[in-house]
Amino acid sequence: MVINIIDFNKMIDNHLKRENRPKGIGRYYPSEIGTCLRKIWYSYKFPQDIQPELLKVFEVGNIMHDFVVKVLKSEKNPEVELLKSEFPFQHQLNDFIISGRIDNLILVKMANKSVLVEVKSTGNVDMVTKPAPHNAMQLQLYMHLLDIHDGILLYVDKRNLKSKVYTVPYNEEEAKKILERFQALHDHLKEDKLPDPESRADQEKLWMCRLCEYREKCYKETVRSAKWM
């Protein structure tokens, strides 16, 4: 007979619980910019507590990051030298700041080059056939702002540690478009103007809506139409 003397699920929830500090207009985060602009806008205007399930997903990402750092640091892998695994980060652009601790990024030296490695944990690496656009966008921004123009996306399977690596070529034009997204977000927040529901215009981005905590609000504010799925 199994006797439950501890409720470990509850203990994990307690351990991961964090205060939800409202985000201030004028400070933006690279980890969000590849997602839906409307969703980010809502998160400033109508902050919500992060669901415990989502906190656990984030924690798995942190655990995976630490594991990848260990592999890269290992003296059994002398072809790669770990240079940096934490990036406190601040970039002033016009009247706002792009900031945050970039916690999924690693800098290594390989083949005599400095290369940024962005780590993503995935539920099934066999389903990953190309870099996800929002992941590539984030890495493009880091390459631009950190002035390191070689970057790879490393996907690691949470179930079995199988991995895939994709090189993301630096593209200055794309990086500038991402900075324009920050500007658009800032302008919409300052003017209290709701952005378009951009993820509902693109079949490839519609998965973001399925996971979106503002879904109901969004569909109420912009009803389904030929333009917005």
User: Would you tell me which residues interact with ligand SF4 (CB under 6 A)?
Assistant: 36, 38-39, 197, 199-200, 208-209, 212, 214-215, 218
Judge contact between 51 and 16, C-beta under 8 A: no
- Smallest distance, ligand SF4 to C-beta of residue 199, A: 4
Distance CA 37, CA 181 (A): 8
Tokens for 159, please give them.
């179930």
If the CB atoms of residues 137 and 209 are measured against ligand SF4, the closer one turns out to be 209
- Smallest distance, ligand SF4 to C-beta of residue 79, A: 41
If the CB atoms of residues 128 and 212 are measured against ligand SF4, the closer one turns out to be 212
Judge contact between 172 and 144, C-beta under 8 A: yes
If the CB atoms of residues 149 and 215 are measured against ligand SF4, the closer one turns out to be 215
- Smallest distance, ligand SF4 to C-beta of residue 39, A: 4
φ and ψ of 155, to 5 deg: -100, 130
- Smallest distance, ligand SF4 to C-beta of residue 212, A: 3
Q: For residue 177, give every residue at least 6 positions away whose Cβ sits within 8 Å of its Cβ, in sequence order, or none.
A: none
- Smallest distance, ligand SF4 to C-beta of residue 216, A: 8
- Smallest distance, ligand SF4 to C-beta of residue 103, A: 23
If the CB atoms of residues 174 and 198 are measured against ligand SF4, the closer one turns out to be 198
Distance CA 208, CA 61 (A): 18
If the CB atoms of residues 85 and 135 are measured against ligand SF4, the closer one turns out to be 135
If the CB atoms of residues 107 and 218 are measured against ligand SF4, the closer one turns out to be 218
- Smallest distance, ligand SF4 to C-beta of residue 184, A: 14
If the CB atoms of residues 107 and 209 are measured against ligand SF4, the closer one turns out to be 209
